[in-house]
Amino acid sequence: MRLKLLLLLFLSVPALLTAQDDEENKYDISISGFISSEIIYDTRQPVAAREGDVLLFTSPILNDANGDDINDTPSFNMINIHSRFRLSVDGPEMLGAQSSALLESDFVGTGNQFISMMRMRHAFIKLDWEKTSLTVGQYWHPFFVISAYPEVAGWGGGSPFAILSRNPQVRFGFNLSDNISGSLTALTHRDFSSTGPQGATPDYLRNAALPELNLNMEYHTKGWRLGFVTGYKKIMPRTQDLQGFKLDETLGSLQGNVYTRLDVGDFTAKLQGLYGENMHNFLMMGGYAEFIDQNSGEITYSNYRTGSIWTELLYTKGSLTYSVFGGFSENYGTENSPAPQETVNRYGRGNNIDTTYRIAPRLTFKVDDFLIMGEVSYNATDYGNIQSDGTVTDTEEASAIRLHIHLKYSF
C-alpha cells in the first residue's frame, strides 16, 4: 500500500502543477525513466550483490571431501529491479542562479532482503550561476566521473575495477576557464559505507565527525578530457575498547584517480587508474586491519591499499555499438604488520584476493527509445593465503564466464 501511495504521489505532481495557470507556474516538471529487463547466466557461482546482478568476483575453488568444486555450479536469473522513475524540475531564478532539482528512484532496495522495494537513487537541488554551481543532496560520488564511466551491461558500473557510490553531499562546482573546470565536495556515507566491527554502516564516518572531502579537476577540449579526483576520509570503527572504556582511535584514508576520455568521430576510448586506502565504500576490494594489543588492550588500525585500472573502447555505426571493457585490480596489503603480541581482525572486501581481472566485449542495438545489449564477460580471481602484512600468497585462480542480455525501454 505504501508503494502504491508513493507512486500515485510521484505521478500526480506534474498534473497538479500543470493545472495552474501558465503565467503562475514557475516550474517546468518532467517525468522520465525506463523499464529494464535482464537475463544473466554464470558458468560458476558469482560473488555478487542484489541476487547476483552486480558482479564483483568469481567465487573461490571450494572442494568437498570427494574433491569436487562446490562453487563450480552454474547460475541463472531474470530481474527487472532496475526499472526507474525520474522527476526533473527546472525552477525559477534563486539568488541570481538558475534553480533545478532531481528525484530518482528504482526498485533495487538497499540490500538483498529489500529487493523489489523502492529506494532513493538521486535527490538533489542545484543552483547554477555563470561560472559556479552548488549541488546539495544525494548524487554520484565525485570518483564516479560522469564524463568517463564504464557503460557496461550490468549495473555495477564496472565494479570492482571502477568505483560505484552515491552519497549525501554538498558540491561546489567552478569553471576556471572555457577548458578547465572542477569541484569541491563534502559528503557522508549512506548506502555505500565502510565496514567494521558492526558490519557495513555509515556510523563509522559519522562518529569521526568529519565529512569525506574530495577535489576534482578536469581539462576538456573538443573530443578530449583529462582529469583527476583526490579525496580523504576518516572513520572511527569503535567508540569503546574491548573493556568498555572510551576509545578515540580513528583511521584516515586517502584515495585518488586519474582519467581520460577521447572521442574521435564514431570512436570513443576511456582509461582510468585508481589507487586508494580502505576502498570498501566504493564497492571495490579493500578495507583495513584492526590490531589489538593483548598486553595493554590498545587498538590501532592499518589501511588496506588497492590499485585498479580499467579501459573501455566503443565504436558506433548506425544502430549498433561495438564495445569492450577491461579491468584489473590488485591488493597491495596493509600499511603495517601486527606486532607479535597483537591479534588481528580484518574488515573489508576481497581480503583473501591477490588480483582479479575482467574482459567483457558487448554489442548494443539501439533504435529510438529501445535498447538491447548483449555482453560476454570473462572473469578471473586469484585467491590465496593472507599474510601478516595483508598481502596474499600461494594463489589459485578461479575463472568463469557471464552471459548478460539487457533490454531497456526509455520514456
Handedness of CA 158, 272, 304, 240 (dihedral sign): negative
Which secondary-structure segment (H or E) carries 4? helix 2-18
CA 288 from centroid of its chain's CA atoms: 19
Among 372, 356, 377, smallest CA distance to 41 is for 377
Q: DSSP secondary-structure letter at 142?
A: T
Given a cut of 50, the residues of the chain with pLDDT beneath it are 9, 16-17, 19-21, 23
Q: Which stretches does DSSP call E strand in 95-159?
A: 97-106, 119-128, 132-140
Residue 252 domain-assigned (yes or no): yes
DSSP string spanning 181-196? Answer: EEEEEEE--SSS----
User: If you count DSSP H runs as helices and E runs as strands, how many of each does the chain have, helices first?
Assistant: 2, 21
Among 245, 244, 231, smallest CA distance to 277 is for 231
Measured CA to CA, the distance from residue 137 to residue 386 in angstroms comes to 40
Domain membership of residue 332 as a residue range: 129-410
Residue 366 domain-assigned (yes or no): yes
Instruction: Give the pLDDT score at 14.
Output: 54
Residue 31 domain-assigned (yes or no): no
Model confidence, pTM: 0.90
Handedness of CA 9, 10, 12, 16 (dihedral sign): positive
Among 393, 367, 350, smallest CA distance to 48 is for 350
Task: Express each pLDDT in 205-244 by its tens digit.
Answer: 999 999 999 999 999 999 999 999 999 999 999 999 999 9
213-222 burial code (b ≥16 CB/10 A, e <16): ebebebbeee
Residue 352 domain-assigned (yes or no): yes
Residue 303 domain-assigned (yes or no): yes
Residue 172 domain-assigned (yes or no): yes
Which secondary-structure segment (H or E) carries 10? helix 2-18
Q: Which residues contact 171 (CB under 8 A, 6 or more apart)?
A: 133, 134, 135, 136, 139, 142, 183, 184, 185
Cβ distance 323 to 269 under 8 Å?
Answer: no
Residue 272 domain-assigned (yes or no): yes
Report the CATH number at residue 331.
2.40.160
Cβ distance 388 to 338 under 8 Å?
Answer: yes
User: How many alpha carbons fall within 13 Å on the CB side of residue 272?
Assistant: 30
Taken as a whole, the chain contains a residue count of: 411
Instruction: Give the pLDDT score at 23.
Output: 43
Instruction: Give the pLDDT score at 227.
Output: 98
Cell numbers representing residue 44 in the block: 560458476
Number of domains in the chain: 1
> Which percentage of the chain shows pLDDT scores above 70?
94
Residue 24 domain-assigned (yes or no): no
